[in-house]
Structure 1
Amino acid sequence: MNGTEGPAFYVPMSNATGVVRSPYEYPQYYLVAPWAYGLLAAYMFFLIITGFPVNFLTLYVTIEHKKLRTPLNYILLNLAIADLFMVFGGFTTTMYTSLHGYFVFGRLGCNLEGFFATLGGEMGLWSLVVLAIERWMVVCKPVSNFRFGENHAIMGVAFTWVMACSCAVPPLVGWSRYIPEGMQCSCGVDYYTRTPGVNNESFVIYMFIVHFFIPLIVIFFCYGRLVCTVKEAAAQQQESETTQRAERE
């Protein structure tokens, strides 16, 4: 192991020199220079001031105007909510902790930040999956006369929440755990250690298959079929125009 493992943390640096300290209690300036933490805080601030207005206005405008409350927009609203989870649960926390150089909110704060950041990320991912499936169903028509309605949208939103929770909740109840990561100013799933009793290895495999590989395959399949269908339609239209031109001549 190249890093230093402690109670509920893993610092990616050997403690041979004795300088490594808990990221819940001490600044981690031995990992990178203090200016790097300031740069991270500035980047988080940029994400906040760009991410919050866009997603908040998306919610506000859609709620205020009935014409925008279409089934497809339910998924887009869900995506906006996911981004707001990231803004408040992830970016804001990371900006504050990076200004201090370590995760000042302690173990409980790490669990909360890790949960909301993971939840928002997974909601966004599965919302993109639902959008891809919706486009495939509507354009490619694998089911004749299919129309994406309100019930489909509600089921799609519910599905994204179930899948997001199936990834974000387990580390809170003993299957893996949330620990500070990277510069030790934000928290995420423990990919680094093999701590007995938390089964990190099995959870990482589960995440890779269910929450990365499967969504990737579904999105590639749906948009791949969409591109093929559009190309076929364009070819048929071109052939029809060529035939009509020949008949006129």
Structure 2
Amino acid sequence: ISTMRSNVSQVEFQEDFYIPIPLDTHNITLLSPFLVPQDHLGHKGVFVSMAVFMCILFIVGTSINALTIVCTVKFKKLQSHLNYILVNLAVSNLLVSLTGSSTALCTFISRYFILGPFMCKAEGFLSTLGGMVSLWSLSVVAVERYLVICKPMSSFTFKNTHALIGCAVPWIFALIASLPPLFGWSRYIPEGLQCSCGPDWYTVNNKYNNESYVMFLFIFCFGFPFSVIVFCYSRLLFAVKAVAKVQEQSASTQQAEREVTKMVVVMVLGFLVCWLPYATFALWVVTHRGEIFDLRLATIPSCLSKASTIYNPIIYVLMNKMFCSCMIKLVFCGKNPFGVEEESSVSQSTHVSSVSSSQVSPS
């Protein structure tokens, strides 16, 4: 009877993780990522390197996103409805940094998920929630800039109500995407080097329907947002280039055209760096069931997505000269030793939209 109970507990415990190498059923817990260091997956130096990387992400990500929020509260000139979504992005990045990066730092130092199955599910859910909010916020930023600069609807005026809706939508969509694994559609388990947790996209399990959940995430949380971003920024780019062509003699218009082009390229590339590796790897695993792959490779896209807590604010906040100037003043107690101008990059691009609607609006 005691042997039967032991086997049952082992099978139940196995539900919380996935062992990437064949093991005897009776010894399934011997390499559990919740019980012992995962040295069979990599050298100790690999875990130390990942711990250092996560430490950098935690310190820099937490600092820069917290600073964004504090600056917006402190400086009234930043409290524009067009900046609401940037604060929303900072809050989501801060959530990922405080839950995902900090937890990963602790577990990589221990070389296994020392916090247990419950915290694995909690960390997986909160990191996924923050990541999805960040992802959808990038789409909202693209839509807002398209509406404000291209003016596709001449009678439409962007107001605080629209900005608040734009902040709420990412959280609603993120909850739709991140809650299902808590209720049986897929699950949150350790991934990669087994020191961080995320949705189960690499096991074949009819009980959890992992394949359908991965396809749902790929279409709803990557394909659709990316299509929105590409559409909005491409229309924005074409509209600004059309105005620049008409006003070839205007130096300010030509400069704005270059600024917008750089903005579009950087923002689209930033989105792809954040999410394309994760989405591609997960989709490949789902569509190539039975093929051998190194589970440790899952650590790379996971780290890139967590690193978005740093390069997202660099792209969307620090490239905004007004935000950058206010941050410098906050850090240096009201002084600006670098002489950064306070004109925002958004206002520069908006300068182009000051031309007549017929010239700017997409044909």
**Alignment TM-score > 0.5, same fold:** yes
- One-letter amino acid of the counterpart of residue 206, structure 2: P
Q: Taking structure 1 as reference, are residues 24 and 237 closer, same or farther at Cα in structure 2, changes over 3 Å only? A: same
Amino acid at match of 1:131: V
1:98 alignment partner in structure 2: 108
Alignment match, 1:50: 60
Contact 2:30 2:36 in 1 (8 A): no
Verify the 8 A CA contact 2:65 2:90 in the aligned structure 1: yes
- Matches of 2:54 and 2:249, distance apart in 1: 52
Q: Contact conserved, 1:178 with 1:188, CA < 8 A, in 2? A: yes
Cα gap change, 1:221 to 1:14, in 2 (>3 Å) = same
Letter in 1 for 2:187: R
Alignment of 1:78-227 (within 5 A): 78-227=88-237
**Paired amino acid for 1:6:** Q
**Does the Cα contact within 8 Å between 1:19 and 1:30 map onto a contact in 2?**
no
Structure 1 residues not aligned, in runs of 5+: 242-249
Shift of 1:65: 2.2
Give the drift of 1:239: 7.9
The superposition leaves residues 81-113 of structure 1 with CA deviations (integer Å, 9 ceiling, x where unpaired) of 011111111000000001111111111101110
CA–CA distance in 1 between the matches of 2:155 and 2:120? 48
Query: Normalised by the size of structure 1, how large is the TM-score?
Result: 0.90
- Cα distance in 2 between the residues matched to 1:18 and 1:140: 59
Secondary structure of 1:146's aligned partner? coil
5+ residue gaps, structure 2, are: 1-12, 252-363
Equivalent residue for 1:230, pick from 208, 216, 240: 240
Q: Choose the corresponding residue for 1:13, options 18, 21, 28.
A: 21
Structure 2 contact 120–189 (Cα < 8 Å) conserved: yes
Structure 1 residue 72, shift from structure 2 partner: 1.3
2:239 alignment partner AA: T
Equivalent position to 2:36, from 20, 26, 30: 26
Structure 1 residues 19, 158: CA separation in 2 closer, same or farther (over 3 Å shift)? closer
Is the Cα–Cα contact under 8 Å of residues 193 and 200 in structure 1 kept in the other structure?
Answer: yes
Quickly say closer, same or farther: Cα 1:184–1:212, change in 2 above 3 A: same
Query: Partners in 1 of 2:139 and 2:88 — Cα distance?
Result: 12
Supply the AA of the counterpart residue of 1:9: F
Which stretch shows the higher mean deviation, 149-158 or 136-145?
136-145
The normalised TM-score by structure 2 is 0.62
Q: Which segment is superposed worse, 139-148 or 210-219?
A: 139-148
- Once residues 114 and 18 of structure 1 are traced to their aligned partners in structure 2, the CA distance between those partners, rounded to angstroms, is 23
Q: Any conservation in 2 of the 1:140–1:229 contact (CA below 8 Å)? A: yes
TM-fit CA distance, 1:196: 3.1
> CA–CA distance in 2 between the matches of 1:162 and 1:96?
30
> 103-112 or 10-19, which moves further after superposition?
10-19
CA distance in 1, matches of 2:47, 2:30: 17
Deviations 1:181-214 (A, max 9, x none): 0000000000011223211111111101000100
Deviates more, 1:183-192 or 1:138-147: 138-147
Give 1:147's aligned amino acid: T
Q: Distance in 2 between matches of 1:138 and 1:21?
A: 55
Contact kept? 1:28, 1:183, Cα under 8 Å? yes
RMSD between aligned residues: 2.0
Equivalent pairs counted in the alignment come to 237
Name the amino acid aligned to 2:147: M
Percent identity of equivalent pairs: 44
CA contact (8 A) 1:10 1:192 kept: no
Instruction: Give the deviation of 1:20 after TM superposition.
Output: 6.3
| 1:211-246 Cα distance to aligned partner (Å, 9 max, x none) | 0100011100100111100110011112899xxxxx
Q: Using the TM superposition, name which of 189-198 and 27-36 deviates more.
A: 189-198
Measured in 2, the distance between the counterparts of 1:177 and 1:220 equals 31
